Structure 1
Amino acid sequence: MGEQGPRRHLTVHLGGDAARAIDELRAVWDPVMRGVAPAHVTVVYPEETVDAELLLERAAHAADGTAAFDIRLGAFGCEDEGCGGVFVMVEDLAGGLETLRDRLLLPPQRFSGYPFHATVAHPRTSPSPSACWTQLRGRGMDLSFTVRELLWTITDASTHTVLERFALTGRPEATRVALAGAMVMDHGRVLLGLRQPDRASFPSVWDLPGGHVEPRESPRQALRRELREELGIEATLAEPWRRLVDDDLQIELSLWLIRRWRGELSNRAPHEHQRLRWLTANDLGSLPLAHPIYLPLLRDALAT
């Protein structure tokens, strides 16, 4: 829109009461945008897309394995007191949007981490976004919407076209166990934990911090929780790093590189790990690891 050239996004188009409520506001504060693009939530921005063909391949696979999920429109927000735009924040009720985005934006794509939102007044098309913010400050919505498909779209100053649709056709019951793990890095070393010998699965091997993704959690949310419980830290999770799928073990493991955290790192879950150890690349070859792919992944992480 505005003077920009065509822009391609992966989006969720809103419908029902959610779309009507946003369009009523846009009719007042941004009729240009209302006339071009339907009310939507962007999942992947053009600036994040390095390889569009790979992105669409991932979108197809992710949609096949993802069931429909609910989101909710919440509080109004803005950038630069409205001058940078006004939007309604999207509450990701079961972590569905975040899970999709982290799968789609694995390398080589770029990850911005921009909060999910639906725009009410865009800074390039609204005649007065600051006045819009003055009107909406402190207010919000409480409207839910069920996400059933991802859309690959192209938008320019006057048109918005859906290029491809990806229906969320996954079954609610997952066939694989979802896990989230961390490569916690510090000065050329990575942190591993030695699992207790009485563990029901993978006893007496060295494993990554992390664990199971609980219902209504995204892997990103699960890893933050697990790192608090296991290590006592509040970790900074930036872009997703790797996703490991093992159909023999029926697991899918989402991995992050963790280089920054708050808190004093210690073994807060001794019932899971006998001890923690910082390891260099030279230390890894002689250790029994929880999965054979860990060795090349750990070496790759240490070389990054």
Structure 2
Amino acid sequence: MSSHWNKDDMMTIERYLDINMHYQPGKNNNQTGKNRREMTVKLCARFNIVDPILIAWLYGVSHRRALEHLNNLANKEGLLICVHTIRAPTGRVYTLSYQGANYARQLLSIPVIFRKTAKPSLQINQNAVIHNLQNAYILMRGIHHYDAEGRHAPMWDGLVSEPEFCRIYASNSIRNVDGLVRESGHNKTICGVEMENSFKTKATRNTILLRYLYSLKQGHYEKVFLVSQSHDILKDIRRFHTQLFDELTTAYNKKTKQPFITTHDADLLQQRIIYRSKFCDELQKLFYP
């Protein structure tokens, strides 16, 4: 990957990408239980929250069994904390306890931030609960992809979550995407993933588009995957982008006396922004039954 990351940042990103996030059942019930325990803690550490929907899908179990698993980790083992919230589809999410954060550090060998608060509900961003759950699903979904014959055929083999990405690189110029993934295959292309849950104005799309361009040219990621629970949201984004590609190449920036972007820039954006509509129906079925 051609990149303008500094060496330390690139090494950090590769450490996160190399963490094994592929869940596999064990050869017996004890091993399966251990694998699930470790994966659930890793998910909480990397995405801040999990819920029964995500766990039921990942482990192929019923909602009841997923709830039992999470409550056992919370109430019996003390690794998780249950937070009740109307923002979650099931009315609850789970986040790491202090003990769980320590255990996650041992599993992952990366920094795991724990902020003790008077109320567990203050440990999570209530406004982003559904966004964060769906984002976790998408990033894990690409790793847990199987072909028609049931063979493991991942779309990507590594990920960097949104909280991790923001900690590694904070800048007003870069577009802080909702995660990075490393595509499977020989090229190992690094792609930004954006979870689009709502309609945005054209002005907002304009700002985001210019930041995508900056990050693509700087090599922070080589493609951008746009994902949503709504086909209409993706169509709206594509419509605005089409208009902006034309407008930004013809309108002049008063400061530079040049167009805001060149035709080459517009071509780059058109080639590198991918609208992943295949996930819309999955997200609808899972999170909006």
TM-score w.r.t. length of structure 2:
0.27
Q: Which has the higher helix share?
A: 2
Q: Which has the higher strand share?
A: 1
Determine which structure has more spread, i.e. the larger CA radius of gyration.
Answer: 1
Q: Could you say which structure has the greater relative contact order, defined with CA pairs below 8 angstroms and 6 or more residues apart?
A: 1
